[in-house]
């Protein structure tokens, strides 16, 4: 079987996904290709999806700005994609397009790989900063992984409300302002920065100050370019452990690849190689 894979989004010319999936194909000795399908409008998305239905595409990733827009074109949605309301991976299953979301699973996998102890206590206290699509996927992933104390800090309170409601009765979530979160940072075992603040080159803006951070807190940022954001640098200076954003990028891709091919890739040094490529 020759795997026809790809990525739909805009703009995607700098995406790392082709590099990652070509590595996965090579490591698992599978023939195939991963192409970029850059679509500048939703009209083009509709037209492209019609075409794709008639060629043997095995699956594709979906990124900004189409993670929600793609949903009406799919035949089925898996439970996580439905809860999150966004799709980043589409798999062709017996002629049907099925939408998945591997962002949350990718995030928790990266956390388990680097800091497994956080999952030993269901009541580990997590602060999620931001309430966009990325925060929603990560919240769902953390709840699925069994964590029950996940607070959300966001500039706009109302955007955090539907995320806090994603958990069942066991999950306790308080919604905070960024200022409140700043003052209560010492309370948390894990802090996850999910906004795009800090993403521009040489951007020194901090979403919030880490002055009140405990030394044994894990600080994570999902921004991976720059590889070490000002937020992570400040956390390091405070003596905290950090988790870089490229780790989530790596694992969400790995799970997408597994959905398409059922292969468990031996990843070994690949995550480190990705970091070097991004640096």
Give the number of C-alpha atoms closer than 13 A to the C-alpha of residue 29, restricted to the C-beta side. Answer: 0
> Binding residue per annotation — 132?
yes
Residue 238 a catalytic site member: no
Q: Does 133 bind ligand ATR (CB under 6 A)?
A: yes
Of 157-216, binders to ligand ATR (CB under 6 A) are: 159, 194-197, 207
Least Å distance, CB 267 to ligand ATR, is 25
Of 224-253, binders to ligand ATR (CB under 6 A) are: none
> Binding residue per annotation — 63?
yes
Catalytic, out of 53, 67, 236, 264:
67
> Binding residue per annotation — 1?
no
3-class SS shares of the chain: helix, strand, coil, % to 5: 40, 20, 40
3-state secondary structure of 201: coil
Residue showing tokens 């850059």: 38
Neighbours of 115 (CB within 10 A): 17
Element (H or E) spanning 126, and its range?
A: strand 125-129
Closest residue to ligand ATR: CB criterion: 132
Dihedral angle over CA of 49, 135, 85, 18, nearest 10: 20
Measured from the CB atom, is 94 or 156 closer to ligand ATR? 156
- Residue ranges for the known binding site are 15-17, 63, 88, 103, 130-134, 154-159, 222, 224, 245, 252
Residues that bind ligand ATR (CB under 6 A): 130-135, 154-156, 159, 194-197, 207
């Amino acid at each position: 079987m020759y795997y026809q894979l790809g990525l739909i989004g805009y703009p995607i010319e700098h995406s790392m996904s082709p590099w990652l999936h070509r590595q996965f194909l090579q490591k698992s000795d599978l023939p195939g290709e991963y192409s970029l399908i850059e679509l500048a409008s939703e009209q083009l998305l509709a037209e492209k999806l019609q075409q794709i239905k008639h060629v043997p595409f095995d699956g594709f990733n979906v990124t900004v700005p189409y993670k929600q827009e793609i949903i009406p074109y799919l035949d089925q949605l898996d439970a996580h994609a439905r809860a999150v309301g966004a799709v980043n991976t589409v798999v062709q299953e017996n002629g049907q397009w099925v939408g998945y979301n591997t962002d949350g699973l990718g995030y928790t996998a990266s956390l388990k790989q680097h800091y497994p102890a956080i999952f030993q206590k269901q009541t580990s206290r997590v602060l999620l900063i931001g309430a966009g699509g990325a925060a929603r996927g990560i919240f769902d992933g953390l709840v699925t992984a069994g964590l029950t104390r996940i607070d959300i800090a966001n500039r706009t309170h109302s955007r955090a409300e539907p995320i806090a409601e994603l958990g069942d009765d066991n999950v306790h979530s308080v919604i905070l302002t960024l200022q409140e979160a700043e003052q209560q940072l010492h309370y948390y075992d894990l802090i996850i920065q999910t906004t795009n603040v800090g993403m521009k080159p040489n951007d020194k803006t901090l979403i919030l100050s880490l002055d009140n951070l405990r030394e044994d807190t894990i600080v994570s940022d999902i921004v991976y370019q720059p590889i070490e954001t000002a937020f992570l640098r400040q956390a390091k200076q405070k003596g905290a452990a950090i988790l870089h954003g490229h780790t989530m990028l790596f694992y969400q891709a790995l799970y997408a690849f597994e959905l398409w091919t059922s292969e468990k890739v031996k990843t070994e040094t690949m995550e480190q190689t990705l970091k070097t490529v991004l640096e």
